[in-house]
Structure 1
Amino acid sequence: MMPKDTLTDHDRKVGERVATLRKAKGMSQTGLGEALGVSFQQIQKYERGINRIGAGRLDRIAEVLGIPISDLFSPAPAHDETWTLLQTSGAIELLRHYSELEPEQRADVVALCRSVARLSRGRRSP
């Protein structure tokens, strides 16, 4: 039998999803902590998978973020890549700015990113 306070991979994934969804809403750890009545350090522990998030707290997090509680759990398999990409440092900030652009500007940004990624891959190749 597993000890009561042992975290599982599922617990860690829920913490990661809290972080991703919080960032997507443009909310800081401090802001979420204040809404929940806990410190930003506690939010960090939840998001890093150091502390397990209780059911009541999960319900409150979903309420504060304005999402269904089911969004905090495993996304559909088709969304796995999206979740992984959104967890990349800076991805949500980039998307936030990208969404403010006109369609022509978006096409230019995509072309620029594609070129930079191609150059980066070329430098890493032996």
Structure 2
Amino acid sequence: MANSIDLHVGRRLRRRRRLMGMTQQQLADAVGIRFQQIQKYECGANRITASRLFELAGALSIAVQYFYDGLSNLAAANEPAANDDEIGPDVLRQKETLELIRAYYRLGERPRRRLLDLAKALKDDATDAA
């Protein structure tokens, strides 16, 4: 039975794979395993060994630490947000969020900065109106 850490690591694996636009098969091929094993990792049914986690991190172009980010907040994830600046844990699982992130990183550096400035200005306008 998977524990909360296995589930967290599996969710992070799925999130990064999707963000990269990779299929389970493509990731499995990159590390030399079957896609069914990726499925088991992502749902937390199978634990990921340290060496496999290292290989997965390399295939996904991230540091191994990525998989553990947010673990200290695991208990707090079920609590309501303390203020409007915090986002819920489910927002990063939404297809729309992933599409937005992909589109953002397809932009050049200057348009990305301008888009970020626009988003911040819109947030400030919404705060002033309230």
TM-score by structure 2 length?
Answer: 0.63
Deviation at 1:20, TM superposition (A): 0.4
Q: How many residues are treated as equivalent by the alignment?
A: 101
Q: Which residue is 2:59 aligned to?
A: 64
Deviation at 1:86, TM superposition (A): 1.5
Q: Which of 88, 92, 97 is equivalent to 2:94? A: 88
Q: Which residue is 2:19 aligned to?
A: 24
Quick one: distance in 1 between partners of 2:106 and 2:32? 33
CA shift in 2, pair 1:83/1:27, >3 Å: farther
What is the root-mean-square deviation of aligned Cα atoms in Å?
Answer: 2.7
Deviation at 1:71, TM superposition (A): 0.4
Quick one: distance in 2 between partners of 1:11 and 1:91? 24
User: Residues 17-56 of structure 1: matches in 2 within 5 Å?
Assistant: 17-56=12-51
Q: Which runs of 4+ in 1 moved over 4 A?
A: 98-104
Deviation at 1:97, TM superposition (A): 3.2
Question: Structure 1: where are the runs of 5+ without partners?
Answer: 1-5, 112-126
Matched, 1:9 2:4: yes
CA distances 1:24-82 after superposition (whole Å, capped 9, x unpaired): 112111110001111111111110111111111001111111111000113375xx747
Question: Structure 2: where are the runs of 5+ without partners?
Answer: 78-86, 123-130
Task: Report the residue type matching 2:99 in the other structure.
Answer: E
Q: Give the secondary-structure state (helix, strand or coil) at the position aligned to 1:67.
A: coil
